[in-house]
A and B are shown apart, each in its own frame.
Chain A
Amino acid sequence: MVRQNKKYFPIFVLPTLIAFTVAFFIPFLLGIVLSFTKFTTVIDAQWVGLRNYMEAFSSKEFTNALWFTVKFAIVSVITVNVFAFLLALLLTRKIKGTNLFRTVFFMPNLIGGIVLGYIWQLILNGILFPFGMTLTFKPEFGFWGLVILMNWQMIGYMMVIYIAGIQNIPKDVMEAAKIDGADRFQILRKITIPLVMPSVTICLFLTMSNSFKLFDQNLALTAGAPSRKTTMLALDIYNTFYGSVGSEGIGQAKAVVFTLIVALVAVIQLNLTRKREVEN
């Protein structure tokens, strides 16, 4: 059976492989090539070597966006995961209406980023209105606005993953711990957390990569205002590519650097958390 599967492997994988090649792999390679060129449309490009990369790194906006993104990623990864985990703990207890609550918390995740961005822009501007300010008044407003938005959107999803993890913990371990006289906090620290580490790996990966890649929410909520101080990496790349004619290549170079950063961070994070996973 196994051998037969292997024999059919190329045939069954072919459709996906074609789709993947056409929609992802070729554009990806093309993108890398274009990052070394100067171009207006993708069909006519001139080779310029590493100049785009040099300009990308010397642009103050890129480094600003990088730091803003890093700060945002750290804050939102921590808050999203802490809140999601607490909610998961709460909703795996035997409380009435847990299913309803789970659905409600999950729902924001079903709304698209642009819509969420505009909705939160209205809400936050409404809150700031009595003070005669808007979201664009200070970059800090934009930053925390984005964090709130990210939390609201991602907590539900992460919560579902944590709930699955918690429900997978064998009952006998819990019972044994209780009989041994462990209190709630000890159970949480010594049993629950180590046993949900696989979920933690996934959740950290998802929140981290999503925080780095955040684009629609950023565009809709602040669009970088004031003075591009709340521009994140993806938006900065977009601005470079479309904002000024002749710097498409620089935008492309930034995009390649961006991919490398996200990939690097993700690999490091996966390795770190994988090590802490335990077999149950």
Chain B
Amino acid sequence: MKKSSKLLAILLTLVMVASALTACGGEKKAKETTQQKESTKTEEKKEETSNDQSASNEEEKVDEIYYLNFKPEIAEVYNQIAADYEAETGIKVKVVTAASGTYEQTLKSEVAKSDPPTIFQINGPVGYESWKDYCLDLKDTKLYSYLSDKSLAVTSGDGVYGIPYVVEGYGIIYNNAIMEKYFALPDKATDITSMEKVNNFATLKAVVEDMTAHADALEIKGVFASTSLGAGEQWRWQTHLANMPLYYEFKDNTAYDNSILAGLAANEIEFKYADNYRNIFDLYVNNSSTQKGLLGSKTVNDSMAEFALGQAAMVQNGNWAWSQINGVDGNVVAAEDIKFLPIYTGVTGEEKQGLCVGTENYFAINSKVSPAKQQASIDFLEWLFSSEKGKDYVTNQLGFIAPFTTFEEDEKPVDPLAREVLAWMEKDVESVTWTFAAFPSEDFKNYFGDALLEYVQGGKTWDEVVTIVKDSWKSERAK
């Protein structure tokens, strides 16, 4: 009796342990079988399409590639693309989207896993520095040869490690309907009659301040939508707006070809255009739809909603914001009324200044996955940016202004802000480079943003802000 109960106990524990272990194993098996099914399907299809391709594929079969997506707003579209691509080629594209503002975290943990992303993205030369051990040289790919302006790519020595896939522009977005209303006001204090005439800071300031005085007549809460300074919502000021003074500062350094290179080489900054930054920032804050003390709780969504609902006439953001504006319930901004204005800060000669055009989205291929997977990943990207179907997705659904020669004139995006960016690029003005690619670190931007919040709330003087910016550039660069 005793012996049997002992045996029973041992048996039971063994069963328990075994079931615990097989619980994980079972799933894996199920997955494998489905994968096998898929790959047999693939082979059938391949044989139909082309014989030699299936022959080369037999050496090393790739079932799945993995793309870690940066843009949550278009995550849905990627899932469709993945489904289409799988139907066409049989290769499964796993798309994982990092939540807004957590790309680096997600990438860090995903790369360490046994099934790491094969395609990920870096945000420029600084991002390349931290991921250079993982970036494959893309010099010989077709994707690189498609690039219309080769200087846009992230390079190091002879190698090409990051390929930009979208060109974006930002500036001050304005609602022309409200502007027309202002220009028609009988008692306005300025003699400006169209937005064409607003081509420097002094004019902009005069118009904006007069609009604030007439806010009730214009039925707006403020000229500018809230300067969002909530935690994690400060990027429009600490990154995009901060680009303006530093672009001019680095442009003055003629030892370098462009402002990004000058910025990357700068161990310290003078921040000599700090007053220009203050000009525009004060203008935003003083003519805002929200009073100063409350800006610390505002988010980018709040300000885009204010703009979409017609409560504000202007908002600083980029062409990616169209889907957001359009998606707000009760949106009153018509597509034909939405326009771009460059960010004028009072720098001499800014009449010739255009929008800030550039990118911080570069594809990189993981160099630590198998060569077959690398090739499959490159194939996918080439398909996306050169096949009819892929291009259709890029232009019409992703809304990218893709910097590739494979796109014809009639394959440019239709959304109004993207069109505005293209129009500004064609004008006789000089686009401002995205110099923030040269900012030393995420922390530098955060220190800047934190200081701005305290400045708005009255906790810091402007001089202190300037000191913080200079000091944190120096200390972050030294890291």
Contacts and interface: CB of A to CB of B under 8 A. Distances in A.
Contact of A43 (B112, B231, B296): B112
Given A223-B232, A227-B451, A246-B479, A135 B297 contact: yes
Interface string A127-160: 0010111111110000000000000000000000
Contacts of B16: 15
Contacts of A42: 112
B105 A15 contact: no
Contacts of B109: 41
Nearest to B127: A245
Contacts, number: 93
A137 B9 contact: no
Interface in B128-173: 129-131, 133
A224 B17 contact: no
Interface string A42-66: 1110000000000000000000000
A226 B457 contact: yes
The secondary-structure label for the interface of chain B is helix
A106 B447 CA distance: 39
Interface in B288-316: 291-297
A134 B297 contact: yes
B367 interface: no
A11 interface: yes
B479 A137 contact: no
A225 B20 CA distance: 45
Contacts of B13: 11-12, 14
Size bracket, chain B contacts: 35 or more
B17 A242 contact: no
A135 B296 contact: yes
A246 B477 CA distance: 12
Given A226-B454, A226-B457, A40 B108 contact: yes
Given A134-B296, A226-B457, A244 B476 contact: yes
A14 B9 CA distance: 14
Nearest to B110: A41
A136 B442 contact: no
Interface string B107-130: 011011000000000000000011
A112 interface: no
A132 B442 contact: no
B441 interface: yes
Interface in B1-26: 9-10, 13, 16-17, 20
B327 interface: no
Given A136-B453, A226-B454, A15 B130 contact: no
B14 to A, nearest CB: 9
B443 interface: yes
B104 interface: yes
A129 B296 CA distance: 11
B431 interface: no
Contacts of B108: 40-41, 242, 248
B457 A136 contact: yes
A213 interface: no
23 contacts: A11-B9, A11-B10, A14-B13, A41-B111, A42-B112, A43-B112, A44-B133, A134-B295, A134-B296, A135-B296, A135-B297, A136-B230, A136-B297, A137-B457, A222-B231, A225-B453, A226-B296, A226-B450, A226-B454, A242-B105, A243-B442, A243-B446, A245-B129
Interface of A: 8, 11-12, 14-15, 40-44, 121, 125, 129, 131-138, 222-228, 242-248
Interface of B: 9-10, 13, 16-17, 20, 104-105, 108-109, 111-112, 129-131, 133, 229-232, 291-297, 441-443, 446-447, 450-451, 453-454, 457, 459, 476, 479
Given A42-B112, A247-B479, 19 more contacts: A11-B10, A14-B13, A14-B17, A41-B109, A129-B294, A132-B292, A134-B294, A134-B295, A136-B230, A136-B231, A137-B457, A225-B450, A226-B459, A227-B447, A227-B453, A228-B450, A243-B441, A243-B443, A243-B446
